[in-house]
Amino acid sequence: MPHVATRTEFIVTTGESPKRLDHFLANREPYFSRTALQRLIEDGHITVGGQVVKPSHKVRPGDRIVLVVPRPEPIEISPESIPLAIVYEDESLLVLNKPAGLVVHPAPGHWTGTLVNALLHHMQSGEGHLSSIGGKERPGLVHRLDKETTGILVVAKTDQAHRSLAGQFKAHSITRIYEALVWGGPKTREGRIEISIGRDTKDRKTFSARTTNPRESLTSYRVKERFGVVAAHLELFPGTGRTHQLRVHLKAIGCPILGDQTYGGKKVMSVEGTAIPRVMLHARVLGFVHPVSNDRLTFSAELPEDMEAVRNVLKGKAGALSS
């Protein structure tokens, strides 16, 4: 057996109906595709009751499943010439406006074409280095934005900058303002959403209040515009930084983000006949204390064209209905 990176055990609980082993694990291990799990089973890295079985093996209540993931071979991430919308840069950090569709760091299914590939290419031009704290796969990354989310993101070029920025994120002293176009809209013009969330117990690829590991999370909001009863334009102020927090919180109050089929279903993929091209979420403002100068810096980015286009369509339809 090669050196082990992780070892995880599962006990099939009472009340779970018999199902294939690969299907069972696909709901518990969101970072692995079913194909990857099948490969691990066939290679003997997943056992049931200490026995090597097939992916089609039916698990039953009381079964003890052990998942042993071999340490992955180190990957080499190559620099790639991908355009970057750089807002600010100095010897310590870099601030950019991330476009929609750009994955932030390499991961299974996205080993190339990521922001990290673009940053490595940018540094080749003599702009310095990226901090090493995130390792080879996430150099310089202090925080991240989902693939479809646009907006301001800061990258650390030195370990000192990385530690300083990470500390500010942990202390929630970072200024963050997002904008979202949502289905329906909140009942009140302003409000707070305080719901502890974690990985969902039934769908391990999503997050919700239905979790065995709840973590306190807070989002404040303000309604900027209402488009009749169909949709609304919100400003969001996250008080914490949990994974998918804004998307989960808005779903929880009945107004999921337009284009977010994961948390809103098919109904949010079009409004009044207008197709929504992606998750309508934008990180508009990011403010922090510079790790060297101690100056307070604030950066902003206007709504991207696709989001502004959807907003204008909604505004026009709402105006037509009210006239």
Strands 281-289 and 150-156: parallel
Per-residue pLDDT at 72: 54
Residue 200 among the catalytic residues: no
Give residue 182's pLDDT: 98
Tens digits of residue pLDDT in 63-122: 999 988 776 555 678 999 999 999 999 999 999 999 999 999 887 777 899 999 999 999
**Residue predicted with more confidence, 268 or 35:** 268
Q: Residue 94 phi/psi, 5° resolution?
A: -140, 135
Q: Are strands 198-199 and 207-208 parallel, antiparallel or unpaired?
A: antiparallel
pLDDT tens digits, 213-240: 889 999 999 999 999 999 999 999 999 9
- Per-residue pLDDT, 273: 85
More reliable by pLDDT, 193 or 319 = 193
Q: What per-residue confidence (pLDDT) applies to 34?
A: 74
Give the class (CATH, top level) of 4-70: alpha beta
Tokens 């996205």 -> residue: 110
Most confident residue range from 38-42, 131-135, 201-205, 265-269: 265-269
**Residue recorded with tokens 């995880």:** 8
Of residues 300 and 322, more confidence is placed in 300
Instruction: Calculate the alpha carbon distances from 117 to 29, 90, 151, 261 in Å.
Output: 27, 20, 18, 28
Mean pLDDT of the residues in the chain: 90
Burial class (CB in 10 A: 0-12, 13-18, 19+), 287: middle
- Tell whether domain 175-322 is in CATH 3.40.710.10: no
Contacts of 237-241 with C-beta under 8 Å, sequence gap 24+, read: 237/176, 237/177, 237/178, 238/176, 238/178, 239/172, 240/172, 240/215, 240/216, 241/143, 241/169, 241/172
What pLDDT is stored for residue 319 in this prediction? Answer: 65
Q: Does 3.30.2350.10 match the CATH number of domain 86-170?
A: yes
Please report the beta strands in the chain, taking only residues with DSSP state E, as ranges in sequence order.
4-11, 19-20, 46-48, 51-52, 58-59, 64-70, 86-89, 93-98, 150-156, 175-183, 190-194, 198-199, 207-208, 218-227, 231-238, 270-271, 274-275, 281-289, 296-300
**Catalytic member of 22, 63, 146, 260:** 146
Length of the chain: 323
Q: In this structure, what is the dihedral angle of CA atoms 46, 49, 55, 56, given to the nearest 10 degrees?
A: -170
Domain residue extents for the chain: 4-70, 86-170, 175-322
Average pLDDT on 235-248 reads 96
According to the model, what pLDDT value does residue 74 have?
54
Query: Cα separation of 94 and 127, whole Å?
Result: 10
Kindly report the number of other CB atoms within 10 A of residue 49's CB atom.
Answer: 11
pLDDT of residue 2: 39
Q: Which amino acid is at 323?
A: S
In this predicted model, which residue has the larger pLDDT, 88 or 32? 88
Contact 321, 314 (CB under 8 A): no
pLDDT at 35: 76
If pLDDT is split at 50, 70 and 90, which confidence band does 38 have? Answer: confident
Judge whether 86-170 and 175-322 match in fold. Answer: yes
Return the percentage of the chain with pLDDT > 70, whole number: 94
Three-state DSSP class for residue 238: strand
pLDDT of residue 18: 82
